[in-house]
Amino acid sequence: MKRRAKPIWLLGIILMLVACSPDAERESIKPEEGPPSPKEEEPIRIGFSMDTLLEERWLKDRDLFKEAVEALGAEVEIFAANGDDALQISQAERLIQSGVDVLVIVPHNAEATAAIVHKAHLAGIKVIAYDRLVKNSNLDLYVSFDNEQVGEMQAKAITELVPKGNYVIIGGAITDNNAHLLKKGVFKVLRPYIENGDINIIYDQWTKDWTPVNANANMEEALRTTNLQIDAVIAANDATAGGVIEALEAKGLAGQIPVAGQDADLAGVQRIVKGTQTMTVYKPIHMLSEEVAKLAVSMAKGENINAGQKVKNGKIEVPSVLLTPIPVNKSNLNTTVITDGFHSEEEVYQE
Ligand code: GAL
């Protein structure tokens, strides 16, 4: 068959069709721009389920954790349940359903939140407990400060000042495993004094939700039922110590009875300067938030996590990282919380 000369306009149309077809396009790009860039890696997403933001320290934890996660190129979604167990569980479910890579949780209730760990694992999501342990669950990792040591530091500081006398223990929330660890540390130090009759525990009560109001009510009850025969108070944190000192102030006893606290809240360190609170225990929160952020991102990448310690949670020995707290009183305020920028000198000394 003799190939007839195709009319020019027909050739033009064919070339155009070839040029506009997608295959052609890709073909045309490929040689020029090299291999197509891999699909943009989704940033790692961390879910952060918090108990509460109604206390100074947790606001810091939220901000410092967000900063630390984002500094690692990951994203974080944060919920706070303000002490409502059902709300915390439903917020965690939303994070699980949204497909976070790892779930970090500050439990309000150490037992009730075991359900969250179970649900997360069903979705293939690992769970890290932040500062507070989740009990009776297959928790993947626990990162906190050594809370027993916090209690020991409180009791050591107060027994140095009051080796004999009537002690009041204003505990933390019974739902919080830290409150139990703290109390264990306190009684480890007090026991020998109690056994030889030097120290008498005349009042010992948990404080619902760690609130100053509940601590104040507990302390008023202690003052009433002991006819003010109190020589020292160990309060589980600065928020509860604030409630205690308010009750002492009402009886004109503030500054006369040593009071221990925890957290180095601004109001707590200001009371130490003023002399109505004896000491607090400082926990550099940036260390905790950076450690958890680093481990959460590693976990999301499927990397091996080597946690140096193990903590029993009633079901398993949870791989754990326990950081060291710092006892603080008037003599080392400057070299601890102020040097760290946890509070400014102006704020602490209210200049
Ligand atoms: C504990 C925590 C303390 C204290 C308390 C109240 O679990 O370890 O630092 O702040 O909660 O929220």
69-128 confidence digits (pLDDT tens): 999 999 999 999 999 999 999 999 999 999 999 999 999 999 999 999 999 999 999 999
Q: Where residue 351 falls among pLDDT bands split at 50, 70, 90?
A: confident
How far does the centroid of ligand 1 lie from the alpha carbon of residue 342, in Å? 16
Measure the CA–CA gap between 92 and 50, rounded to whole angstroms: 9
Say if residue 11's pLDDT is above 80: no
In the chain, the percentage of residues whose pLDDT exceeds 70 is: 89
Higher pLDDT, 115 or 16: 115
Report the C-alpha gap between 144 and 155 in whole angstroms. 20
Confidence of residue 306 (pLDDT cuts 50, 70, 90): confident
pLDDT of residue 281: 98
How much is the average pLDDT of 250-278? 98
* Ligand 1: nearest atom to the Cα of 262: 9
Q: Average pLDDT, stretch 263-286?
A: 98
CA-nearest residue, atom 4 of ligand 1: 237
The tens digit of pLDDT for each residue in 19-71 reads 555 444 444 444 445 555 555 678 999 999 999 999 999 999 999 999 999 99
The whole-angstrom separation of Cα 11 and Cα 100 is 56
Could you tell me which of 238, 199, 182, 196 has the C-alpha nearest to residue 215? Answer: 238
As given in the structure block, the two tokens for residue 83 are: 């002490």
Residues flanking ligand 1, CB < 6 Å: 55, 57, 131-132, 172, 176, 178, 210, 237, 262-263
Name the residue of 146, 237, 285 whose CB sits within 8 Å of the most ligand 1 atoms, as the mutation to test its pocket.
237
Closest ligand 1 atom, residue 283 Cα: 9
pTM of the predicted model, to two decimals? Answer: 0.88
Token couple for 63: 């901000």
* Burial label, 77 (beta-carbon count in 10 A; 0-12, 13-18, 19+): middle
Q: Look up residue 174 and give its two tokens.
A: 């019974």
| pLDDT tens, residue by residue, 171-182 | 999 999 999 999
Rounded to the nearest whole angstrom, what is the distance from the C-alpha of residue 165 to the centroid of ligand 1?
Answer: 28
CA-nearest residue, atom 9 of ligand 1: 263
Residue-averaged pLDDT of the chain = 92
Which atom, in ligand 1's list, is nearest to the CA of 131?
8
CA 215 – ligand 1 centroid, Å: 14
Q: How far apart are CA 294 and CA 299, in angstroms?
A: 9
Q: How far is the CA of 22 from the centre of ligand 1 (A)?
A: 61
From residue 248, how far is each of 49, 206, 214, 216 by CA, in Å?
36, 18, 14, 9
Task: Give the tens place of pLDDT for each residue, 199-229.
Answer: 999 999 999 999 999 999 999 999 999 999 9
Predicted local confidence at residue 1, as pLDDT: 45
List, for residues 340-350, the tens digit of each pLDDT value: 999 999 999 98
pLDDT of 16: 58
* Ligand 1 centroid from CA 39, angstroms: 43
Give the integer Cα–Cα distance in Å for 273 and 265: 13
Q: What's phi and psi for 112, nearest 5 deg?
A: -60, -30
Per-residue model confidence (pLDDT) at position 27: 44
> Which of 133, 134, 176 has most ligand 1 atoms within 8 Å of its beta carbon, as the pocket-test mutant?
176
Amino acid at 347: E
